[in-house]
């Protein structure tokens, strides 16, 4: 495929590697270390590099740190299962590298926002601002479902499934666009090359397939909400106007922040965008993020 058919980044990205709790973490970096810092945490199946679309729309100079979370992107993890609390411990170690003495600004999308929310409530003194992009938890689980859930987990450990592979990067790009229909073809081709790699004539995903396992410990929403209530950082909740994830947890931001116990949080809806806001509406997302984060300077 011609380079003319792929999104061209306007701001240079570089990477750094850090050994963090048994994983060689890849961290994506933009800007100069002397500029104001914020840390971006990506969602499930994604990686830090696809934040490029938002980075390119920022008007101010920022030092942006966007790790590939363990088992995704360039942070290879040879594990037979993944546990959510590990992400919090990884984040704590990462912040100790990039901002050991100063509370940080956190921006998280989806899974990354859920990580950030738990962390900000557990160690509120370490976070000065939290922009939560579509990370409003899951519906509460039913304890009666535990036996069947453990069964699904055990069967998955016994016979793990694999991620799909693709004939070429364009095939992966089309799959990405299927989930994010407002995303341009140029951006989808760029994201496909962040998500995938060519091996043996097929494009594989930079992700450990054990991430597909159901969580052995079912989601307990009350615990997440208890953490959210302890956050002392400034908070902005950002949602897509056509997000299926908000519908799944009955959390419509345009309905008065339904049952979302984030203290003193502002909220904004970006119309004509779904869950993957950084893919479908990067300019609008950048504008809202920058306006919010600039108030913390």
Question: Could you read off the pLDDT of 41-59 as tens digits, one per residue?
Answer: 999 999 999 999 999 999 9
Confidence check: pLDDT of 121 > 90: yes
Strand pairing class (37-41; 104-109): parallel
The reported pLDDT for the residue numbered 131 is 98
55 membership: H or E segment, kind and range: helix 52-55
DSSP line for 157-214:
HHS------BSSHHHHHHHHHHHSTTS-HHHHHHHHHHHEEEETTEEEESB-GGGGSP
Residue 35 and residue 23 in contact, taking contact as beta carbons nearer than 8 Å: no
Q: How many CA atoms lie within 13 Å of 116's alpha carbon, on the beta-carbon side?
A: 36
Mean pLDDT, range 65-76, rounded to an integer: 97
Residue 213 and residue 156 in contact, taking contact as beta carbons nearer than 8 Å: yes
pTM for this prediction: 0.94
**Rounded to the nearest 5 degrees, what angle is found at the Cα of 104, between the Cα atoms of 223 and 85?**
35
Q: How confident is the model at residue 18 (pLDDT cuts 50, 70, 90)?
A: very high
Confidence check: pLDDT of 142 > 90: yes
The reported pLDDT for the residue numbered 297 is 87
- CA separation for the pair 157, 197 (Å, rounded): 25
**Measured torsion, CA atoms of residues 104, 110, 111, 112, in degrees rounded to the nearest 10:** -20
Q: How confident is the model at residue 160 (pLDDT cuts 50, 70, 90)?
A: confident
Q: What is the mean pLDDT of the chain?
A: 93
Burial string for 63-72 (b: 16+ CB within 10 Å, else e) reads bbbbbbbbbb
Q: Show the domains of the chain with their CATH numbers.
A: 11-141+217-294 (3.40.50.1820)
């Amino acid at each position: 495929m011609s380079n003319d058919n792929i999104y061209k980044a306007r701001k240079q990205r570089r990477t750094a590697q850090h050994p963090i709790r048994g994983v060689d973490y890849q961290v994506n970096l933009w800007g100069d270390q002397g500029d104001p810092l914020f840390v971006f945490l990506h969602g499930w199946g994604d990686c830090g590099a696809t934040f490029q679309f938002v980075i390119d729309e920022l008007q101010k100079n920022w030092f942006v740190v966007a790790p590939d979370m363990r088992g995704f992107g360039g942070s290879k993890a040879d594990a037979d299962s993944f546990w959510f609390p590990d992400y919090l411990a990884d984040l704590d170690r990462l912040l100790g590298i990039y901002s050991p003495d100063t509370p940080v600004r956190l921006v998280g999308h989806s899974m990354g926002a859920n990580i950030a929310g738990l962390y900000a409530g557990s160690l509120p003194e370490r976070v000065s601002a939290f922009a939560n992009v579509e990370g409003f938890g899951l519906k509460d689980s039913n304890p009666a479902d535990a036996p069947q859930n453990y069964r699904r987990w055990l069967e998955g450990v016994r016979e793990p499934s694999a991620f799909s592979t693709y004939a070429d990067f364009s095939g992966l790009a089309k799959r990405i666009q299927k989930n994010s229909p407002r995303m341009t073809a140029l951006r989808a081709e760029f994201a496909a090359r962040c998500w995938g790699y060519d091996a043996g004539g097929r494009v594989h995903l930079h992700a450990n397939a054990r991430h597909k396992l159901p969580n052995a410990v079912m989601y307990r929403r009350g615990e997440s909400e208890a953490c959210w209530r302890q956050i002392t950082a400034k908070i902005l909740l950002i949602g897509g106007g056509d997000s299926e994830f908000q519908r799944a947890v009955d959390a419509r931001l345009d309905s008065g922040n339904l049952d979302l116990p984030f203290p003193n949080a502002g909220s904004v809806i970006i119309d004509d965008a779904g869950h993957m806001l950084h893919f479908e509406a990067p300019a609008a997302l950048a504008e809202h993020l920058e306006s919010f984060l600039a108030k913390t300077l």
